[in-house]
Amino acid sequence: AVLNVINAIFVNDAIESTRTDHDLRMQGELEDTKLLLERLTTIFTKMQAFSPEDCKGDVTDTIFVEQVEREEVKMQFALLGLHFGDCRNFFRHLDIDGNKRLGIDEFVMGCLRLKGGALLVDSNVLIEDTRSLLMKTARSNKKAIDALSEAIKDVDSKLNGIILAGQLLS
C-alpha cells in the first residue's frame, strides 16, 4: 500500500513537471512568433519606404525584388528561417491575389506560411511547376481525345456510307 502511494506521488509529480514543460514551451513559441512578426513588419516597413506614393502602403513586385536582392535583406530573411533561390518566385508565392503588390498582411502571412524547411519556397516552386505541367498535359490530352473522337466519327460515317452503298447494289 505504501508503495502504491509512493508511485502515485511520483506519477503526479511527473505529470505536473510535464505540464509545466509544455506551458514553458508554448510560452517560448508565442514569444518567438511575436518576435518573428515584429521583424517581418520591420522588413516590410523598410521596403515600403521605397514604394511610390500611389501604392497606398503596398510594396510592388519591382520594389520587392530590388530590396530582397540586397545582401542585408537576404540575411534578415535567412535569420528568420526563410531561404529562397529566386526573388521573383518568392514574391509570386507571397502575392496570393496576384495583383503584383503586397500589403503588410499578405507579406507577413505569406512569410509565416512559407517559413519552415530550408528550401520550402523552392519546393513550392516545384509544386507550382508540377501543377502547371499537369494542367498543360490535361489540356493536351483533351485535344487529343477530341481529335480522336472526330476521327472515329469520320470513319463511322464512311463505313455507314459503304454499308449503305453495298445494300443498294445488292
Q: For residue 68, what is its C-alpha cell? A: 530582397
Domain range enclosing 67: 1-118
Whether residue 156 sits in one domain with residue 84: no
Decide: pTM greater than 0.85.
no
Whether residue 125 sits in one domain with residue 107: no
Which residues does residue 60 pair with via DSSP β-bridges, in sequence order?
A: 101
Residue 68, judged by CB atoms within 10 A of its CB (0-12, 13-18, 19+), counts as: buried
Give pLDDT tens digits along the chain (170 positions): 677 777 777 777 777 767 677 677 777 777 888 888 899 999 999 998 888 777 778 999 999 999 999 999 999 998 888 888 889 999 998 988 889 999 998 898 888 888 854 344 455 656 666 777 788 888 899 999 999 999 999 999 999 989 888 888 87
Whether residue 128 sits in one domain with residue 112: no
Q: For residue 81, what is its C-alpha cell? A: 528561417
Which of 132, 127, 60, 55 is closest to 94 using CA atoms?
60
Which of 167, 61, 59, 170 is closest to 104 using CA atoms?
59
